[in-house]
Structure 1
Amino acid sequence: MIDRIRAGVTRWTVTVPLLALVALALTWGRSLPGAAVAVVAAFLAGAVLAAVHHAEVIAHRVGEPFGSLVLAVAVTIIEVALIVTLMAGAPVKNATLARDTVFAAVMITCNGILGLSILLTALRHRIAVFNAEGTGAAFATIATLATLSLVLPTFTTSTPGPQFNTAQLTFAAVASLGLYGLFVATQTLRHRDYFLQVTAEGELLDEDDHGELPSSRTALTSLGLLAVALVAVVGLAKVVSPTIESAVADAGLPASVVGVVIALLVLLPETIAALRAAAGNRVQTSLNLALGSALASIGLTVPAVAVASLWLSGPLVLGLGPTHMVLLALTVAIGTLTVIPRRATPLQGAVHLSVLAAYLVLAVSP
């Protein structure tokens, strides 16, 4: 009976990404009625769940922190493609899309995913224990990248508005890519143990002890299906984006809400994977997913839009406004205080979630 259930799950996680890709091919570039949008949304949800399953198979095979890195980078690469595609379609209208989406990703990951993971783990196991060295390094890198790429453009004077000139944008792109590459090398090579789960006594848990390792063939198959599922997720998000934009406009909401919705959609796989890891008392995996996604979002998006700006005719607005800079500073401050003790209670999780709630409220009602 158990084998039948497993076989059914395996067939489902293979079939749904392929069907979602077919749905993407049939709907790409077309104006859809409401019923068709609902069908696309169903395929989108199925592709998200399939992506989480295949990401967990890969993570189980390669171990931490490589598994978290695979999902974070894969999602972000396709997210960047979505942002550049939308900007190319309407360069002037979407001049702030990259900034809005990246900042939304930072708020969702550093406050939402992180806060929920800590809250869930601490409620189940009294406290959430994690490795402060790796988590602190990730937070420091996020703070630096966000400041260089999203805060400084607001204060530069060589170009009107919150924009970089060519030299400044080149520096921000190179610095972002360089710091992200150095972080990945630190996470996977020189100091991999800083990103592994620890016990309450501070001992490393380097081995997976929750099931037999999948074979190399199974892991490679999941890697391919993960790519298919993520292409479908972001592609179908692009398909429903006109409906999202119309709904946002009809509701009288700021255009930046579109970036928030896009970030919420593309971060669904990481969110679900992080919460499942937290439920299993593997909060370090959850933090690796959350902070790794934030780092990848900034470290890959800024260089990509910098290159894209060479042929895009519209402006590229990266600078944050005063309200968002305050929220970013608050996120860095409370994140630092959360990381230093190496353990957290439900209170810390709730504090992070309150900052995310404030961001969402101010996004709807600035």
Structure 2
Amino acid sequence: MINQHNPAWSLAIPILSLIILGLYKLMPNFPLILLLLSIGLIASVVTAVHHAEVIAHKVGEPFGTLVLALSVTIIEVALIVSMMLSGGDDVMGLPRDTIFAAVMIILNAIIGLSLLVGGRKHFVQGFNLEGATAALGTMTVIIVFSMILPNFVSSSNVVGVYSAQQLVFIAIITLAMFVAFTLFQTIGHREYFLPVEVDELHPEEVADVPSTKTLMVSLVALLVSLVAVVLSAKGISPSLEALLGRAGAPVATLGIFIAAIVLLPEFGAAMRAAKANRLQSSLNLAIGSAIASIGLTIPVVAVLAIILDWPLELGLDAKSTVLLILSLFIVANTLRTGNTTMLPGFVHLAIFATYLFFSFVP
């Protein structure tokens, strides 16, 4: 069980995190419990990244990155739904804020830092243009359908809110596009998402392939780590909301924190892949996560909103729409040739910094 792929710490941390969660459940007023939850959260994220990479090495691309993308998206959905159920009308815009934050983090922070880290070490990195083009096209359509189109429909009396019939249609179409892309990525044209050939001066760093037993251990440990992440984040969220309220931060910033928490595993995995000259893996993870985030989150919250008769706010305001369109344009420009360098990374990070600044200083 314990070997070079699964060192002792990677198996101990999920267990310790569950112990901390048990302590929180039994004694919520225990001194420093929030600090322990925060430590358990960060440690679980690190562990999730490790085990996701073990799985990725065993099953190969693009299945490995798909495992992590789906796992993290499930966490995101669970957090959004739990907070919607507990927060009522005050959080009807939380799905939009969280999805938008996730998209901005993925397109600008994760891709930007991946290009920066990889470009700094390897100067020029290649990727499969066919796969990137297909992923960007799918991602752009579901983003526009989910967060821009609601501002221009006329059936609803509220700007940015779909009617029940429109919401059902958008939920079905986004889910269908996610399924279609997943089949295209894993079965129809898997070769479009495999690492490209690299030159002798900048070889791809390849790790030893784990055994099947190691794979199963990592899969269980990944699931436990992800459960620990979502439960720890849920325990911390009330204090986080109160802190943001005292600081006078806008309500939308809660979505940024949720997205940042759930995307930490993907962030770490993408950075390490780019550093190892596996930029294709970083892009698979980043763009695939954006597609999964919307393609799975929208149908779930749509069903919840229809059942509970909630006015689900999906349309972005003008400022956010401008930043989103700019991000989509720049990422399409960045990935237009099949090769990339450090400079586009700086550009994406500049957009992300601007997004963060105007989120907290609207």
Q: TM-score if structure 2 supplies the norm length? A: 0.94
Structure 1 residues 34 and 136: CA distance shift in structure 2, 3 A? farther
Give the counterpart letter for 2:118 in structure 1: T
What secondary structure, in the 3-state scheme, does the structure 2 residue paired with 1:267 have?
A: helix
Give the counterpart letter for 1:172 in structure 2: I
Following TM superposition, by how much is the alpha carbon of 1:71 offset from its aligned partner in structure 2, in angstroms? 0.3
Candidates 11, 17, 20, aligned match of 1:20: 17
1:273 and 2:269 aligned: yes
Q: Which residue of 1 aligns with 2:170?
A: 172
8 Å Cα contact 1:57-1:214 kept in structure 2: yes
8 Å Cα contact 2:174-2:299 kept in structure 1: yes
Structure 1 gaps of 5+ residues are: none
Candidates 216, 229, 232, aligned match of 2:228: 232
Following TM superposition, by how much is the alpha carbon of 1:25 offset from its aligned partner in structure 2, in angstroms? 3.5
Following TM superposition, by how much is the alpha carbon of 1:161 offset from its aligned partner in structure 2, in angstroms? 2.8
Q: Which deviates further from its counterpart, 115-124 or 15-24?
A: 15-24
8 Å Cα contact 1:153-1:319 kept in structure 2: yes
Give the counterpart letter for 1:360 in structure 2: L
In 1, Cα distance between equivalents of 2:229 and 2:298: 22
8 Å Cα contact 1:88-1:312 kept in structure 2: no
8 Å Cα contact 1:99-1:319 kept in structure 2: yes
8 Å Cα contact 1:142-1:295 kept in structure 2: yes
8 Å Cα contact 2:55-2:218 kept in structure 1: yes
What does the per-residue CA deviation read over 1:203-234, in whole Å, with 9 as the maximum and x for residues that have no partner? xx9xx972321111110111111011001111
8 Å Cα contact 1:82-1:234 kept in structure 2: yes
In 2, Cα distance between equivalents of 1:192 and 1:246: 46
In 2, Cα distance between equivalents of 1:245 and 1:134: 39
Candidates 94, 116, 119, aligned match of 1:119: 116
Q: Which residue of 2 aligns with 1:161?
A: 159
Following TM superposition, by how much is the alpha carbon of 1:200 offset from its aligned partner in structure 2, in angstroms? 5.2
Q: Which residue of 2 aligns with 1:197?
A: 195
Give the counterpart letter for 2:54 in structure 1: V
Candidates 83, 91, 95, aligned match of 1:94: 91
What does the per-residue CA deviation read over 1:239-275, in whole Å, with 9 as the maximum and x for residues that have no partner? 1011111111111110110100110011000000110
Following TM superposition, by how much is the alpha carbon of 1:156 offset from its aligned partner in structure 2, in angstroms? 1.6
Give the counterpart letter for 2:329 in structure 1: A
Give the counterpart letter for 1:180 in structure 2: F
Give the counterpart letter for 1:157 in structure 2: S
8 Å Cα contact 1:29-1:239 kept in structure 2: no
Following TM superposition, by how much is the alpha carbon of 1:188 offset from its aligned partner in structure 2, in angstroms? 0.6
Following TM superposition, by how much is the alpha carbon of 1:35 offset from its aligned partner in structure 2, in angstroms? 2.1
What does the per-residue CA deviation read over 1:120-150, in whole Å, with 9 as the maximum and x for residues that have no partner? 1111111121111111211111110010011
In 2, Cα distance between equivalents of 1:11 and 1:126: 35
Structure 1 residues 263 and 92: CA distance shift in structure 2, 3 A? same
Q: Which deviates further from its counterpart, 74-83 or 18-27?
A: 18-27
Following TM superposition, by how much is the alpha carbon of 1:314 offset from its aligned partner in structure 2, in angstroms? 3.6
Structure 1 residues 30 and 92: CA distance shift in structure 2, 3 A? farther
Structure 1 residues 30 and 132: CA distance shift in structure 2, 3 A? farther
Candidates 287, 296, 302, aligned match of 1:300: 296
In 2, Cα distance between equivalents of 1:269 and 1:119: 18
Give the counterpart letter for 2:23 in structure 1: L
8 Å Cα contact 2:70-2:289 kept in structure 1: yes
8 Å Cα contact 2:126-2:279 kept in structure 1: yes
Give the counterpart letter for 2:22 in structure 1: A
For residues 1-366 of structure 1, what are the structure 2 equivalents within 5 Å?
Answer: 6=4, 10-28=7-25, 35-159=32-156, 160-199=158-197, 210-366=206-362
8 Å Cα contact 2:106-2:290 kept in structure 1: yes
Structure 2 gaps of 5+ residues are: none
8 Å Cα contact 1:91-1:315 kept in structure 2: no
Following TM superposition, by how much is the alpha carbon of 1:32 offset from its aligned partner in structure 2, in angstroms? 5.1
Following TM superposition, by how much is the alpha carbon of 1:198 offset from its aligned partner in structure 2, in angstroms? 1.0
Paired residues, what number?
357
8 Å Cα contact 2:56-2:64 kept in structure 1: yes
Structure 1 residues 284 and 360: CA distance shift in structure 2, 3 A? same
Identity rate, percent = 44
Following TM superposition, by how much is the alpha carbon of 1:354 offset from its aligned partner in structure 2, in angstroms? 0.9
